[in-house]
Amino acid sequence: MIKTAIITGATAGIGAATAELFASKGWNIIVTGRRKERLDALCQRLKDTYSVDITPLCFDVRSFDACKKALQNLGGVKIDLLVNNAGLAAGKDPIQDGSIEHWERMIDTNIKGLLYVTKLLAPQMIENKKGHIINVGSLAGKEVYANGNVYCATKHAVDALSRAMRIDLNPHTIKVTNIAPGLVETEFSIVRFDGDVDKADATYQGFEPLLAQDIADCIWFAASRPAHVTIGDMLILPTAQANSTTVKK
């Protein structure tokens, strides 16, 4: 039986790489994102390459109404896997200089967006008595670093929610996995620094960072384990990185 995965935040980076990998493995894919042109381009490329069903859902996870409208009209499609990938960092300032807009954007996307999507899809998994939820967290959910304050707090929340969800959903045979990447070269830093490419590029200079495909591979590994195996938590670092502040350059 062909399985179906829904991947949030799939217009670039880890989400797009994960969608492609799962499509290559024969899964039907539902991808979500805010940028319609990118979402449509990804779907068209996957449809042209793989013989699976690819469905785009363009909405912003920060809005519960938008999530509800998109996810309650799946036409009876049963979701085997939810990858809560949508997330971002905005700004890198000491707490006293932080931007309220940045804070709200991170909290609304990284925490509330994950909660909204999970709340809407978990009942179907409970009804089916099976399913898997993979939350893409971060090394920043394991430790904190200077000027990372609110971003680290949101990813600590993802880590805690993953553990709590595993307890709540255990009676229903639903797996929950937390994936915690270190430095991955995607659009992450471009978004964090409000489009400042020079600052973003400097983040990854002098060492070999992880790539989106590396994290997609880890997500696939967790999702492809047999029914009796759950990968609860996975921390993935580039070899040059020991922790949030120690990077060999």
Hey, which residues are catalytic here?
A: 151
Q: Can you list the positions of beta strands (E) in 73-157?
A: 81-84, 131-136
Query: Cβ contacts of residue 40 below 8 Å, gap of 6+?
Result: 56
Residue 221 token pair: 């590994």
Interatomic CA distance for residues 84 and 136, integer angstroms? 6
Selection from 125, 106, 91, 120 nearest residue 3 by Cα: 125
What is the rounded (10 degree) CA torsion for 141, 143, 148, 151? 10
State which amino acid sits at residue 197.
V
